[in-house]
Structure 1
Amino acid sequence: MGLSGALRRTTSWIAAHAPWSAWAWRSTAFTVAGIPTALPAVSVFTCMVVAPGRAAAALLVMLLLSPLLTLLQRSRFRELVELEIPAVGYAHRPLRPRGLLERLRSESTWRQYGYHLLVSPLAGAGGALIVLAWACGVAGASVYAWSWLLPVGDRGLGWTQGYDVVTVLGALLLLATPWLAAALARLDAFAAAALLGPNRARELERRVEDLAESRAGVLDAADLERRRIERDLHDGAQQRLVALAMNLGIARATLTDLPPEAKAVIDEAHREAKEAIEELNSLVRGLHPAVLEDRGLDAALSGIAARAPLPVELTVELAQRPGPTVEAVAYFVVSEALANVAKHAKASRCRVEARRDADLLRITVTDDGVGGADPARGTGLVGLRKRVGSVDGTILINSPLGGPTVVTVELPCGL
């Protein structure tokens, strides 16, 4: 079974790469199709040799024909070898002065020009070589079929032995020509991908910029959605709870003749309503504190420090306010860091510093706790990393056993 399977695969491979196979004819057609597109460059070189004074005009005409030649070459690669070469995008139309100037300044234009002027003639010469190789191979392999056309006088002693050699060489040439055509096609495709398409490094840079802008838009949309939810909770549910608490307080004060059980129910409902208001206030502050938008990061961090269950020394030095997204990330980073300190560090005090240096906001949270903070143990530091990473920030955690723990966060202010 194994031997027959290997034999079947070998036979299939030979049939797929034989001179009469579709692979051979596709490679041949591709290389031969490069001959017409090479004629403009051949004409330029001919003009440079025959009439050197007109070489500049010929090069200029070649430059003007470059977009059309690029279109033809991209079509040749797409239709014959299924290679899609992306088109180069420009901001302005080519027939306008700004569009023409943009194309002349673009390095993509000159890379395409280099392909049509240097690579295309070589590809055309390769196509002509393939045609000649096929013709010689067919003529040599079939020499006995047409040798009778030669004059009788040319058939000297041992002429049949010479024809045997020609037949073998012709057959070998027929076997080798498809591989030569495939090799030329691969080299041409490699050169075209590098010269006819857009610059890959530039495209990656543009893609990164587009992704950064898209991510910034997503972050802004998420921030706006948080603000909307905060506003709805503050203006809707919170106001209803406040009204409910007031009504229960009025009922407790005015309905003095109720049974003790009813008074106890009203007291319990009044207390639960006030606790719900406090929880809702905390939730609203967690979504997007109003003080952050109204008075900035300094006032918002002061509020966090005042509500912390341990003494917090706060230092904020901001010559200029960062963007709203960065401010929100900085606020939540400090809030979560202080929550982690209160929950895990067993610290007696903490220090928070926020300083802006050019386009970088640096936040440092230091505590005198037991240390040993490890993001892998689920101490809330994983959430900090994700929140900081959402704006391309960096976080460094230094927490040896025994303390102190220093969390340093750097946020770019460009967002």
Structure 2
Amino acid sequence: MGLFGNRENPEVVALRQQVGSAEATIAELRGWVGQLRGVDASAREAELRALRSAVDATRREHAEVEQRTRDAQAELVAVRSEVVETRELALLQQVGVYDYAHPLEDALAYKNTLAALRKRVKEMARTDAVSCHVDWSVNGSAREGQKLGRDMAKLMLRAYNAEADNAVRAVKPHTREAVKERLSKTRETIGKLGKLMSISVSPAYHRLRLQEIDLTADYLVKADEEKEQARAERERLREEAKVMKEIERERAKLAKERAHFATVVTRLEASGDAEALVRAREQLAAVDDALSGVDHRAANVRAGYVYVISNIGAFGPDMVKIGMTRRLEPMDRVRELGDASVPFRFDTHALFFSEDAVALENALHHRLADRRVNVVNHRREFFYATPAEVRDLLVTLGDDHVLEYTETAEALEWRASSPDRRAAGAPALVGAGVDAGGDGDLSDDGE
């Protein structure tokens, strides 16, 4: 028994308790560790390794796909740089008003220029159309190497000329630039294939062939223009012949009437019937005035009628045709325009007589120039305008006498032919002045 008895220090007791608790916790943890290191832990580790392997494989495949995509995109860019758009529809949609590359006076001038250019092409083809530089030997012979180079250059030139000749034969006005671009691609391809021997088509020769394409396209357009002008001139002459025939017929009719009234006047002068004589002389004077008017119309080629007509069934409600005719009966011309070439007859909105119908027609066309339907062929005198708009223009342009004006189109044939009327079983128009039109075309007067 000690001096102070056998009672232990409380702090030591508490420390021993803490140590015991810690040892129990360690034992429990050791048990859990043992379980985790058992069979279940091994399976999870294998599963984890498989997942990591799959992720790595997917990453590698993704990288390969991305690389193939980049290669394909680069190849697509290269191919597109070699492709020339030659589809007819796409080129037609892009075409505008044709711009001559080499403006000349007429088709004959183009033919002569083309002949001279083709002579230069043949001369250059025999001399310096293609270049070749070979500084290596064949079978130990430098001469054989040079001969091989010359033969390859001739072969390349023949391939180029075949493409150029085909381009000249196939070119159309709207494909001109596409054909030239394709020939330039052919020249570039030949340069790549002949790079080892420094074979290339000379720039001067290539310019000549491109100029040949330009001139050929220009010639085609000019030839079409001259054909259209010739057709217009034939139409003008036919219309002029109709006018003169109509004038001669009217003149003969009036001359016959004048002879009749002159005879009546002579007899009345002899008989002394003063009252009847006055009436006969008035009738004779009226016939003389009519004859004078016919002679004036025959002499004045600019006098005539300007007409404004529409055809809702064929062209819609907001389109009019503005033309002129020298006919004594202008409606004859309007009826001709509504023949079998259009499904319905034209409606007349305005009919003007003018001593200078040509100038009046040109003034109307000028005021409506930005509304032309056909901006290439100005003989097609159709405009996007309403009859009321044209009437207002006519009022501002002069004080010529308006013989007829109607703002709303009757369009009897079109209205009677509407689907609703057909479904309702509407009867055909009989006795309404609607008859079958004869053969013909929708050409303008050309006067």
TM over 0.5: no
TM-score normalised according to structure 1 size: 0.30
> Which has the higher Rg, Structure 1 or Structure 2?
2
TM-score normalised according to structure 2 size: 0.28
Q: Hey, which of these two has a bigger chunk of helix by percent?
A: 1
